[in-house]
Chains A and B, each alone.
Chain A
């Protein structure tokens, strides 16, 4: 299936080069779950600390991902 993905901060290096900050890119993958998508993107599961699917926060890596979903992934971040 094809989904849209946005990666931020230290995860940006896993996006295609020249992806602008805040821009999404298309990922094609065979799996069904968020965990499988992260595996396809090429970084460890625990680096996907904050994930939003279509704007809603999810914490369970077995959450299903559907065609055309927008999946936004952040590593652990803090500031303020």
Chain B
């Protein structure tokens, strides 16, 4: 039986509620966005008591459906001022789903001036709000180790680090990985870590002891669907097995992780490098997924079973795509950071002109430890470079600047955590790559215009995952596109945005899209598993569009207009080498994406 846990941090109380009829089929992003739109005052300050922090495991989390353990978190974003949903793997979705929790809604904040820090411990039919001042102001590697000692039931953990506790806009929501060796499972974007910090919450600890696997309404259909999806995922060359039957490398994500994209974007001339000033980076290969694969193999050869290195690593229980990795220190074979993903390697490497794998891994480790979103932190460091405080390519300089963030009284430390727009403006930079205040990720919108349409029009601020047109524009999935100009970009972006919203609600990892958009049996497997679980048929696009409508309604009420759906001017005026093109999608085309909605 699903239920909702409501927590009021103003008086440290909580209560349990049945899932109301209107939220009956909502989970994950569908749940968080519905609650935020309905219950959060749109003009409230995101870092004061009237904002809410909403958590919801995806619909199929905790079940045997493949790669279905994503957790959504939502709130009004301190970075964009609009609605935000961010999702991640880790353990928490599984743990909450097993104890029947559809959502946790956290409202209020301790009285101003309160110095105490709290953690929330959620168990089957039980919730405790515990004073945990000893969890605050700590690096997150140390914190997750401490929590697993204090609660020896292998709990899921999410929360905020030093950056969120100081209400910094780069702060993400961290999550522990299944082995609890790294806090690197981030629902990173939108500064939502700071929303937790504003409520004086360090960690949310979920214990599934006594829980059970959620039961589908139509088990036969659910099982048929999940098995068909599993089969399709396993045989697809992007999501499939590590090696083929003859022992050769097969699945792209298992072998090289998401960072398989580094080289292809570089060759395509769409890899934004050195503050979005070029579409190519001569150090890209050295920090690519192929380079991590080689480092892992080399380390395993040298250190054998003692090597803390892997690819084909699962980010949550039951993931069959396993795109995560564990990057070792080359000299010792010990874990350096897990994972090193494409967006992070780009933000902290390519975007800063840093082509040294160790330095990029170290910057990522620091972000994980401090509680920072790697994309926002990397773009913020780029503003320090653009503003002349550090030179492009200076890895040790970037590491030194980021380490300042540990200090309680370093202005530079606050600046590197303050977000791309704030740092750029403070340093007199006029090329600030943000939409709605959120920094652009790892695809330049000038040569790849469909993704530019997504960046501009999604309610989330610049976000590639909101409508991943790259699949069609670069990767040749669902169509072969030679020139993105030939596409109806509005239609492409809208279709991807709606489908994505649906997937984000199911708990399935978005990466199943690489398979299901290519394989009709896989697509049917996905919908059968969802419909079988619910015991009723829902339409993918209709369900996705309903989520987008909630999100657009919130932003409209928060004062957003079409004028916010624009890219910064320099993308229209500065041609990007090597193709020397600008973003030439008209405002009318951008506005057509959600016309009449």
- Give chain A's interface residues, CB within 8 Å of chain B: 6, 8-10, 12-13, 20-23, 47, 49-50, 52, 55, 57-59, 72, 74-80
| Chain A proximity mask over B471-515: 1 for CB below 8 Å, otherwise 0 | 100111100111100000000000000000000000000110010
A6 to B285, CA, bound (A): 12
Which A residue's beta carbon lies closest to that of B251? A10
Query: Is the beta-carbon distance between A21 and B291 smaller than 8 angstroms?
Result: yes
A25 to chain B, nearest CB (A): 14
Whole-angstrom distance from the CB of B450 to the nearest CB of chain A? Answer: 13
- The complex places the Cα of A21 from the Cα of B465 at a distance, in Å, of 27
Closest chain B residue to A50 by CB distance? B476
What's the nearest-Cβ distance from chain A to residue B234, in Å? 14
B475, A77: Cβ atoms closer than 8 Å: yes
Closest 8 CB pairs of A and B: A22-B285, A79-B258, A78-B514, A78-B238, A21-B285, A76-B237, A79-B261, A10-B249
Shortest distance from the beta carbon of A22 to any chain B beta carbon, whole Å:
3
Task: Give CA–CA (A49, B511) in the complex, Å.
Answer: 18
Q: Does B404 contact A (CB under 8 A)?
A: no
Show the binding face of B for A, using Cβ within 8 Å.
236-239, 248-250, 252-253, 255-261, 263-264, 266-269, 284-286, 288-291, 294, 323, 341-343, 464-465, 468, 470-471, 474-477, 480-483, 510-511, 514, 578-579
* Residues of the B chain whose Cβ atoms lie less than 8 Å from the Cβ of A76: 236-238, 252, 475-477
Q: Tell whether, in the assembled complex, residue A79 and residue B477 are in contact, meaning their CB atoms are under 8 Å apart.
A: no
Contact (Cβ within 8 A) A78 B290: no
When the two chains form their complex, are residues A22 and B514 in contact, meaning their CB atoms are under 8 A apart?
no
Contact B267 A6, beta carbon cutoff 8 Å = yes
CB proximity of B439 to chain A, nearest CB, Å: 16
| Cβ–Cβ contact B514 & A8, under 8 A | no
Cβ–Cβ contact A8 & B465, under 8 A = no
On chain B, the residues within 8 Å of A13 by CB distance are 248-249
For the complex with contacts A23-B285, A57-B482, A78-B253, 4 further pairs of A-B residues with Cβ separation under 8 Å are A57-B483, A59-B476, A77-B238, A77-B475
A22: chain B residues within 8 A (beta carbon): 263, 266, 284-286, 288
What residue in chain B is nearest A73 (Cβ atoms)?
B267
Least CB distance from A13 to B in Å reads 7
Give the nearest-CB partner of B342 in chain A. Answer: A79
Q: Which of A21, A59, A75, A80 contacts B258 (CB 8 A)?
A: A80
Question: Do B267 and A21 have beta carbons less than 8 Å apart?
Answer: no
Instruction: Return the chain A residue nearest B282 by Cβ.
Output: A22
Given A6-B267, A52-B267, A58-B482, A80 contacting B342 (CB threshold 8 A): yes
**Most interface-central of A49, A52, A72, A79 (chain B CB within 10 A):** A79
Most buried by B among A6, A55, A72, A76: A76
